[in-house]
Homo-oligomer: A and B are copies of this chain.
């Protein structure tokens, strides 16, 4: 370096390798191979009881392990552990959640950790480091996030996800009856809040081939999407996580009605409808396989 120092910042060091494979690529490969199913891991007390398991960290572990084995054997693309139900058991439950994420990784299932986090600045960065960083105890392939603090507040997580080959699913429209109060409120720019999320995700994914790393969450039991949402969805360019298939009332045919051509981007979650066929491993794997087949029309 000269004594006067450089006039312009030095070039970044040359890339020494291809970097981590982007989440969008990894998920797209599984979808294109015919699997659009994400198996929810929701250790509710009632389900644990039905499996003959105690509502303890150990019971949660056995439940998670059973579902992961079935998801793997039945050809699911991903699993979605529900953090809330592990958090009930404090550090003991979180320790099991770490194991669940590790088991899924071992059998090659992608993980969508359902945490619905959302905060600002360095706190959002803290959440991102908790869940989207290599080597973090709770490192997952992707997480769900909640945008009450504005889409822009998610930037630290979006940045870290991109850097590390991870994915993020932004809540847009949920199917619970209380959701429209916020999600259908009208933003200053014109679209509804949920539409604004779909637009922002589409913009962030623009140009990504075959699929970007940023997804949206849209409930399967919605009657319809607002007009802008329907228009933008085919350009969303990232995965559409759709919870609520089965037990919550959503049916595969609803997916075509709601998503039209964008249906190839759908990653559909089934939780109770699968867990209820357990704990018998054969029955669980068969139910997973059946759900995968029921969703294969999404590729056509």
Contacts and interface: CB of A to CB of B under 8 A. Distances in A.
A120 B147 CA distance: 15
A287 interface: no
**Interface residue range, chain A:** 35 or more
Contact of A185 (B42, B152, B185): B185
A95 B87 CA distance: 11
A177 B148 contact: no
- Copies of this chain, complex-wide, total 2
A126 interface: yes
Nearest to A82: B123
B193 A179 contact: no
Which of A82, A151, A185 lies at the interface centre, i.e. has the most chain B CB atoms within 10 A of its CB?
A185
Contact of A176 (B42, B150, B184): B150
Contacts of A151: 178, 181
Interface stretch (A24-32, A130-138, A232-240): A130-138
A170 to B, nearest CB: 10
Given A85-B126, A182-B187, 20 more contacts: A82-B126, A87-B138, A88-B129, A88-B130, A90-B130, A94-B94, A116-B146, A146-B148, A147-B182, A148-B183, A149-B178, A149-B179, A149-B182, A149-B183, A150-B178, A150-B179, A150-B183, A180-B188, A181-B188, A185-B185
